[in-house]
Amino acid sequence: MSLPFVRHLRGKRVVLASGSPRRKEILSSVLGLKYDVVPSTFPETLDRSKYSPKDYVLANAREKGMEVYTRLNSNADLIISADTVVCLDGEILEKPRDPDHAFDMLSKLNGNKHYVYTGVTLIYKKDNSSDPITYSFVEETEVIFRKNSEDMIRAYVGTGDPFDKAGGYGYQGIASVFVEKINGCYYNVVGLPSSLFVKLEELVRTKEI
C-alpha cells in the first residue's frame, strides 16, 4: 500500500528533526514513511526583522536540520527539518501566549486572508562524500477565514486547542469551522507540504539517496 520510493526509504535511516505531532502524522499516516524523531534543539531566536517570512522559515529549517546533523555526527541517511509560520499583512504570528493573545490573534485572522509558509530542509550525503548536501525550499498556502462570530472564537479559545499552534489555530481539527477555503497545498498548512514527497521521489529516482 506504499509507493516504491517510500519503500526504498524504509531501508534508510531517515530522521525527522521535529517533534511536531502533525508532521509525524503526515509522514507516517499520509506517506507511510518510517523514520526516527530527533527534535532539533536550535532555539528559534533569529531576528525576525531581518528576514522576509519566506527567508525566516528557510533559515530556521536550515538551522534546525544542521543542528541535528551535527549532533548525530552523520549517523543518518537523510534528515528532514521544517519550520512553519502564519503571516498576516507581512506580520508573523507565533503561538499565542495566553487566552487573550489567542483571541486577539484569531480576531485579526477573522474574515481575512493570510498566508502559511513552511520552509523545509533535506540534508543527506551522496555516496561516501564527507560533505553533506543540503536542499531547501519554501511553500506558500493562502488561507481565507470566514467571518466567524466572537462567541465562536471565544468558544474555540476555551477548548485550549490554539496554544501549541502558530497563528492560534489548527486547520486539521475543530478550527476547520473557521476556514472557508485555502489556495495551495493543504499539507503545507498542517506542517509539511506534499512537494516534499515529490522531492523525496526525485532523490530516490536519481539515486541521490
Indicate which residues carry an active-site annotation: 83
Tell me 36's DSSP state: E
Q: Quick check: 96 and 168 in contact, CB under 8 A?
A: yes
Binding residues vs a second copy (CB under 8 A): 1-4, 6, 30-32, 141, 146, 152, 155-156, 159-161, 171-174, 176-177, 179-187, 194-195, 197-198, 201
Nearer to a second copy, 97 or 146 (CB): 146
Nearer to a second copy, 74 or 176 (CB): 176
Residue among 49, 60, 8, 67 at smallest CA distance from 32: 8
**Nearest distance from C-beta of residue 184 to a second copy, angstroms:** 5
Nearer to a second copy, 74 or 155 (CB): 155
Nearer to a second copy, 6 or 38 (CB): 6
| DSSP string for 102-119 | HHHHHHHHTTSEEEEEEE
Residues 6 or more apart whose CB falls under 8 angstroms from that of 95 comprise 163, 164, 165, 166, 168
Provide the grid cell at 46.
533569529
3-class SS at 4?
Answer: helix
**Nearest distance from C-beta of residue 141 to a second copy, angstroms:** 8
**Nearest distance from C-beta of residue 86 to a second copy, angstroms:** 16
Residues 6 or more apart whose CB falls under 8 angstroms from that of 84 comprise 57, 116, 117, 118, 119, 166, 188, 191
Nearer to a second copy, 37 or 177 (CB): 177
**Nearest distance from C-beta of residue 35 to a second copy, angstroms:** 16
3-class SS at 6?
Answer: helix
